[in-house]
Amino acid sequence: MNSVARKLLVGGNWKSHGSLKFVKNFANDTLNKIVYDTSKVEIVIAPVSIHLKDAQEHIANNIHISAQNSSAFEDGAYTGEISASQLANFGIGWTILGHSERRHILGESNTFVASKVKIADEYGLNTIACIGETLDQREAGDTIKVCTDQLDAIRAQVDDWSRIVIAYEPVWAIGTGKTATSEQAQEVHEQIRAWLNENISEEAANNTRILYGGSVNAGNADELIQNPDIDGFLVGGASLKPEFESIVKACNDVSK
Ligand SMILES: O=C[C@H](O)COP(=O)(O)O
């Protein structure tokens, strides 16, 4: 693998938070004021689906808007689903798939998540594909197996990885205030990149962004982003606060 400068990415996953007023105010007061080098850093914001239109209206064009989920199926009789085709038609270029809250609370399997990635890719959406282990799995020494099983399921259905961004989010670090140490995060990211090299291609290993997610904040982003295999963050709670700007700045200012 070569050492390649990958564009860093900071995602804000707003989960089921926010109101129309929040979207407008946070766009104007925080997001649209962030000064960063767009050739070095990308920002992707994922609001609640019924706020996507308002996000498109209020958030500046340099920031991408993402869905938090998309269907495993084409348009059709799937009550409550939003299809990849409908998102693309709506001008949404990104989706987050396989978030641990959907895997663990809503029971989405590796295969089901992979089906979503496949159809998102077919409609030209960029996917932030989330993977990660629970605390029990980490303590059992299964971290890499869990992550690579999740990736293998995607590989079984998707050939083109050029629109996939991987987010490594240890479940025990999400919303808990417990961040993986810089060493723990880098160790897993390095192994994910090695998996890409062995199972997809050297090109995919060099070019695929691998984000870290799990209690990222203004206080830990600077250290985490120094690691060679951490290409940005998927931020939950802190993406709803003004400190999101500091996380973007940490990526903007790092020398890799
Ligand atoms: O998608 C984001 C992750 O679930 C991280 O959430 P958090 O930053 O609130 O821990």
Query: From its phi and psi, is residue 221 left (phi > 0), alpha (psi between -120 and 50) or beta?
Result: alpha
Total Cβ atoms within 10 A of residue 73: 15
How far does residue 77's CA lie from ligand 1's centre (Å)?
Answer: 32
Is residue 12 in some structural domain?
yes
Per-residue pLDDT band for 3 (boundaries 50, 70, 90) equals low
Return the SS3 of 1.
Answer: coil
Does 126 sit in the ligand 1 pocket, CB within 6 Å?
A: no
Q: What does pLDDT average to over the chain?
A: 97
Residue 114 is predicted with a pLDDT of 98
Active site residue 187: no
| Cβ-proximal residues to 207 (8 Å cutoff; 6+ apart), any chain | 4, 6, 162
Alpha-carbon gap, residue 73 to 81, rounded angstroms: 8
pLDDT at 177: 85
DSSP 177: S
CB of 11 closer than 6 angstroms to any ligand 1 atom:
no
Q: Domain of residue 66: give its range.
A: 8-253
The complex's ipTM works out to 0.99
Q: What's the gap in Å between 2 CA and the centre of ligand 1?
A: 30
Q: What is the pLDDT of residue 2?
A: 57
Quote the CA–CA distance of 25 and 103 in Å, as a whole number.
Answer: 31
One of 51, 99, 133, 189 is an active-site residue; which one?
Answer: 99
Beta bridge partners of 94: 66, 126
Does residue 71 lie in a domain region? yes
**Nearest one of 210, 223, 217 to 243, comparing CA atoms:** 217
Is residue 1, in this structure, part of any structural domain at all? no
**Whether the predicted pLDDT of 1 surpasses 80:** no
Q: Residue-wise over 166-180: b if at least 16 C-beta within 10 A, else e?
A: bbbbbbbbbeeeebb
Residue 3 lies in a domain: no
Task: Indicate the DSSP class of residue 232.
Answer: E
Q: Is pTM, for the whole model, over 0.95? A: yes
Mark whether 99 is an active-site residue. yes
Partners of residue 64 on adjacent β-strands: 44
Ligand 1 mutation pick, 106, 176, 215, max ligand atoms within 8 A of CB? 215
| % of the chain exceeding 70 in pLDDT | 98
For residue 119, the domain's CATH number is 3.20.20.70
**Per-residue pLDDT reduced to its tens digit, 15-71:** 999 999 999 999 999 999 999 999 999 999 999 999 999 999 999 999 999 999 999
Contacts of 224 (CB under 8 A, 6+ apart): 179, 182, 185, 212, 216, 230, 233
Give me the pLDDT at residue 141, please: 96
Q: Look at the chain and report how many structural domains it folds into.
A: 1
> What is the pLDDT confidence band of residue 179, given thresholds at 50, 70 and 90?
confident
214 touches ligand 1 (CB under 6 Å): yes
What local confidence, expressed as pLDDT, does residue 256 receive? 82
Asked if 68 contacts 15 with a C-beta cutoff of 8 angstroms, the reply is yes
Q: Which of 101, 108, 133, 169 is catalytic?
A: 169
Please choose, from the candidates 39, 56, 133, the residue with its C-alpha nearest in 3D space to the C-alpha of residue 94.
56
CB neighbour list of residue 168: distance below 8 Å, 6 or more residues apart: 131, 132, 147, 185, 188, 189, 192, 210, 211, 212, 213
pLDDT-derived band at 5, boundaries 50, 70, 90? confident
User: What string of DSSP letters covers 57-84?
Assistant: HHS-TTSEEEES---SS-SSS-TT---H
pLDDT digits (tens, 9 = 90+) for 70-87: 999 999 999 999 999 999
Residue 184 forms part of a structural domain: yes
Q: Is 175 in the pocket of ligand 1 (CB under 6 A)?
A: yes
235 lines ligand 1 (CB under 6 A): yes
- Does the CB atom of residue 174 touch ligand 1 within 6 A? yes
Q: Are 46 and 94 in contact (CB under 8 A)?
A: yes
Ligand 1 centre and the CA of 215: distance in Å?
6
**Mean pLDDT, residues 111-140:** 97
105: phi then psi, degrees, rounded to nearest 5: -90, -40
The pick from 100, 131, 174 for probing ligand 1's pocket by mutation, whose C-beta has the most ligand atoms within 8 angstroms, reads 174
